[in-house]
């Protein structure tokens, strides 16, 4: 990632903004999109595991993966 960042500093010497080269900005946005997709998938898995755990705690009989796959074959 090529990054020659330029900072904008106020009269007190505090950084207030940053200029990022377009190529770097595009790379950062692409990486952000990929990370958001991963987060969505992992959050879904986490929620599914939580639901299974809660169902088992309530004594519910859950469908097995084999049953689900057999059901979807027909």
For the segment 40-74, what is each residue's pLDDT rounded down to a tens digit? Answer: 999 999 999 999 999 989 999 888 889 889 887 76
Q: Is residue 14 part of a domain?
A: yes
pLDDT tens string 2-12:
568 999 999 99
Q: Is residue 1 part of a domain?
A: no
pLDDT at 3: 67
pLDDT tens string 16-34:
999 999 999 999 999 999 9
Domain total of the chain: 1
Strand partners, 17: 8
Mapped onto helix, strand or coil, the DSSP state of residue 33 is helix
Q: Is residue 37 part of a domain?
A: yes
Whether the Cβ atoms of residue 41 and residue 33 lie closer than 8 Å to each other? no
The whole domain housing 59 covers: 6-73
């Amino acid at each position: 990632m090529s990054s020659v960042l330029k900072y904008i500093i106020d009269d007190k010497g505090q950084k207030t903004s940053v200029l990022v080269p377009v190529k770097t900005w595009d790379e950062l946005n692409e990486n952000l999109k990929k990370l958001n997709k991963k987060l969505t998938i992992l959050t879904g898995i986490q929620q599914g595991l939580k639901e299974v755990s809660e169902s088992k705690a309530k004594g519910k009989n859950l469908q097995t993966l084999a049953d689900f796959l057999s059901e979807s074959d027909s």
